[in-house]
Amino acid sequence: MNLELAIADAAPKPRSLPRYIGFTVLALLTGFAVLVPLLWGADVARQDYNAILSLPTQDHPLGTDHLGRDMLARLAAAVQLSLGLALVSVASAAVPGVLLGMLAAWKGGLTDKCLGLLAEMFLALPGLLLVLLIVAIFPGSFVALYGAVALVLWIEYFRMSRALSRTVLASPAVTASRLLGFGPWYIVRRHLWPELAPMVMTIAAFGAASAVMAIAALGFVSVGVRPPTAELGLMITELLPYFAEAPSIIALPILVIFLIILALMLIAGGRKP
């Protein structure tokens, strides 16, 4: 009986199962992006006009594109780029967004109004339009690309952390800590961050998915990174005219985008409140 109870306790709960699946898929994609360049070592920009749009072979396990470039190497490089830019964008948005949200809730008054007005100014301009504007001013710049995505994402962290921080700071527990003489750092560490952390992690997963989609969309409309950089949206655009000749080749970057978004959505949606 004890053994059965231990197995039941160790088994993943129904709500956490999607998170395990999401983390597994994301880990496999990350391993693919890291290990393929180390083990395969093919040049992502090397062209072979004798193997244009070829089916999977021993030399090219996933086939080649319209310029004879190895799809296995290019997909690994594209996953590296998408996940790397998404991670940097989310980190660049989460840190200032959460800190400003806590500051607005803590200070209140004029500080809260000014920071709220700043967030509303960014909300007045559609996110994708803002990203397109910045990327068009600095074409081909990775810094501009992830900076533009971060400018769009930080607002959600700010609004959610400000609203939740107001509730926590007005709670009896925080009032008692202040009466006992505990400083701001203790209140943030003991009361604020434990309440904010689950929300921040959930928004980060959704934000990473949004960043991947935004980067792919910019590449698809030829506004993001420039050729010959391997990027999922740009690869779809380049292979689209050859859909009739090699539908399986263009399906590869679409499948990778689907798996990345699916993994991040499962991670975000399966998190316990």
Per-residue pLDDT of the chain (273 residues; tens, 9 = 90+): 444 444 444 444 555 788 899 899 999 999 999 998 888 777 787 888 888 888 888 888 888 888 888 888 899 999 998 888 888 888 888 888 999 999 998 888 888 899 888 888 887 777 777 777 777 777 767 777 777 788 888 888 998 999 898 888 888 888 888 888 888 888 888 888 888 888 888 888 888 888 888 888 877 777 767 777 888 888 888 888 888 888 888 899 999 999 999 998 888 875 554
CB neighbour list of residue 115: distance below 8 Å, 6 or more residues apart: 100, 103, 104, 158, 162
Q: How far apart are CA 187 and CA 192, in angstroms?
A: 6
Which CA distances in Å does 37 have to 62, 80, 82, 154, 169?
A: 14, 10, 16, 33, 49
Overall CATH class of domain 13-45+58-269: mainly alpha
For residue 9, the model assigns a pLDDT of 44
Predicted TM-score (pTM) of this structure: 0.81
State pLDDT tens for residues 125-162.
777 777 777 777 777 677 777 777 888 888 889 989 99
Residue 70 pairs in a beta bridge with 64
CB neighbour list of residue 103: distance below 8 Å, 6 or more residues apart: 111, 115
For residue 271, the model assigns a pLDDT of 52
Q: How far apart are CA 99 and CA 80, in angstroms?
A: 29
For residue 4, the model assigns a pLDDT of 43
Q: How far apart are CA 81 and CA 248, in angstroms?
A: 22
- Where in the chain are the domains? 13-45+58-269
